[in-house]
Structure 1
């Protein structure tokens, strides 16, 4: 439906002029056809030049574009610049942001959640949550590793964090480090999921049908409801 000469061809020429091979251009436009509908002058060129300036390399920019061409379609002032600024504000070195852009662009869902978490939590709130975890014996290294695995680990309220760890330690008899090893537990509902399923585990344990098994309990907690009931 588009004009081949005035709409499609100039974009292919642009990508080719940046050193992207023809076969890669073919993959790019077939996986992200939106680039063919987007303004070359007002969007694609501006976005490409922005990332080229940021990455300080045409080659690195081409790698990012080939891996995730949709980045050229984002509104820079809404989706990109604010996230970069948020990372800078919390002290992430520029080199790490560059590495994040190169390695994770895919911009994985976890990365987006992590950035959202860092933007949503003030420094004082972050420190308070660190202290809650530390009171239960978790080191800062354990907390940061857990956050990298599951960014929601630091979005849970202080009361929820305390309630979940208290349940596992004082009701289930597990070490508090369970939440650092499996941080997704902090994102679960204590009343609707953790307590009912752990009661099933305890009943099986008390009847001698199973032995105390951390892995089994975790699988019981993490499995989808339909699978668990079955």
Structure 2
């Protein structure tokens, strides 16, 4: 026999079910994925003319249900081919920005393409650039592309041929895809207020263009974090510190500090090294570990030397450090160093030309042996490649 309590519970459940039916129905209708109906005309064009897979052609054509003519896509395709775009580049451009097919060639597409050509992006580079950044051709030439580009050109000092500007845009084209007043100009003003001006601002743009469109609050947090690490706003090292800190998560940064501590450096010594040569933290943890092991265990370099000159940890172990070490070992074993043996740091900081002149060409009788020792890493790598090819 049911109790009053159980009957009451059943009644409440029925009332709840009735009340929620419309809500559940409405929710399910909102979450239901609509069936995409392709535009047959455009669907066939994408497959037959541009060799798109059927699934992609369906997805793209469904977005343009009102298209009744292919005259415009024909014109766009003809224009891009006349510029030397490959079929792969055209397909890539359409895949990421399908509305490019419906651009007015003479009024909108051509002026923007010519803008990039005048900048210096020409020949085969043009097709590659546009296919990777096709969204740019949908942006306003007068309100976005031109004003943003002019702002960037003012920052990139001594860039008469636009080589740095082009390099920046290849890495981060979004810099000219937004209203400049929204974020770009505000971030530039903030960085300049921190003393990052002239060549330092130029370096930051070339190295970390993404920072210029970072949310202002996040950019301020990064600057505060670098300042709290002991960098002075008036030091050139501040920009280098900002570049590295913006590239690493706090966890990764802390692991690299821990790696230095595992080799006997205190936290203060590790931070001092970072402030002097931030780029050492640009190395992977594995690379940094190999370098520390070589200097401190292989050649038993005193850690104070690395604290004074952490630049040693930024040089390539395989391309610079070990080859020069080999040469110096031969000179030392043959007692050819009549004067005081040079320090590791003084040997490493020399340019390649100066190093070869001072420690190879000077010793004519032993120059061939020294050169073989110095170029050994090249011989090793080439022999490995030969083995792989023969295999």
Same fold (TM over 0.5): yes
**Could you say which TM-score interval applies, normalised by the shorter chain?**
0.5 to 0.7
Partner of 2:222: 86
Give the unaligned 5+ runs of structure 1. Answer: 1-33, 36-41, 56-60
| 2:256 aligned with 1:129 | yes
Partner of 2:38: none
Partner of 1:200: 327
Give the unaligned 5+ runs of structure 2. Answer: 1-153, 156-180, 358-391
| 2:304 aligned with 1:167 | no
Secondary structure, counterpart of 1:112 in structure 2: helix
Q: CA 1:149–1:177 in 2, change beyond 3 Å: closer, same or farther?
A: same
Match of 1:156 among 270, 280, 283: 283
Match of 1:185 among 309, 312, 315: 312
Taking structure 1 as the reference length, what is the TM-score of the superposition? 0.58
> How far apart are the structure 2 equivalents of 1:121 and 1:163?
20
Aligned residues: 168
Match of 2:240 among 113, 125, 131: 113
Q: Confirm or deny: 8 A CA contact 2:226 2:241 kept in the other structure.
A: no
Deviation at 1:84, TM superposition (A): 2.4
Match of 1:210 among 337, 344, 367: 337
Secondary structure, counterpart of 1:138 in structure 2: coil
Deviation at 1:211, TM superposition (A): 7.9
Give per-residue Cα distances to partners, 1:58-91, cap 9 Å, x unaligned: xxx7xx69x85997xx999637945322133x38
- Bigger radius of gyration: 2
Deviation at 1:224, TM superposition (A): 0.6
> How far apart are the structure 2 equivalents of 1:163 and 1:141?
22
Secondary structure, counterpart of 2:265 in structure 1: coil
Q: Which stretch shifts more, 183-192 or 170-179?
A: 170-179
